[in-house]
Amino acid sequence: MPQIEIRPSHASDLEPLLAIERDYTTQYVRQIELENDENERLTITLRRVRLPRPIRVDYPRNRQQLLEAWSRCDGILIAEAQEQIVAYIALSLQKNPFTLWISDLVVSRTLRRQGIGQALILAAEEWGLAKDTQRMILEMQSRNDAAIQMAKKLGFDFCGFQEAYYPNGDVGLFFARRFR
C-alpha cells in the first residue's frame, strides 16, 4: 500500500473529491434469487455471475447527487498520498440501532486494490466507535464485485438489498458488521 494519511475532510477538499474517478470495470455481477418454500420461509441467494466480457460501470450518483448526499453526511474521511487526495469514505450516523452507514467509498483508479479502501473502513470504524455506534453497514451496487469481495474479506455479512435503490435505478446491496 502506498504511504497514506487519513484525515477528516475540509470544505477546500470538495473539488478534489469530485475529481476522483468513480467509475469502475467489472466482469462479475450478483444476481439475487428469491425462493419461498412451503413453510413460507424466504431464502435470498446472491449468486456471483461472470459476464461474457468486462463492462464499465458508472457511479450511481452524479455530481449534484453526491453534493446533496455529502451535505447530509455526518463526516467524510479522506486518504492523501503525497499531499494528493486519492480516496474518500462518506459516513452517516443512524441513531437506531447505533449504526454507522457508509454510502460512498471511492479510491482513485490507479491506486485500487492496494489496501486504501480497507484502511478507510478501519478508520471509519474508529470514527464510529468514538460516536458510540455498534455496527457498520456498507452499501454498494450489485455490479461492484471488488467492493463485495472486500466487504466479505473484512468480515461483513450480506444483510439485504433494495431494487432501484440508487438514483440511476441500480440495485443496492447492504453488508453489515458489528464492531469488535
Q: Which domains does the chain have, with CATH numbers?
A: 5-178 (3.40.630.30)
Maximum CA extent, the chain: 59
Task: Supply the pLDDT for residue 140.
Answer: 96
Amino acid at 121: I
3-state helix, strand and coil shares in percent for the chain, rounded to the nearest 5: 25, 45, 30
In this prediction, residue 86 carries a pLDDT of 97
pLDDT at 37: 85
What pLDDT, on a 0 to 100 scale, did the predictor assign at position 2?
79
Pairing of strands 135-141, 99-107: parallel
The closest of 73, 100, 94, 96 to 8, measured between CA atoms, is 73
Residue with cell 433494495: 162
Which residues in the chain land under pLDDT 50? Answer: none
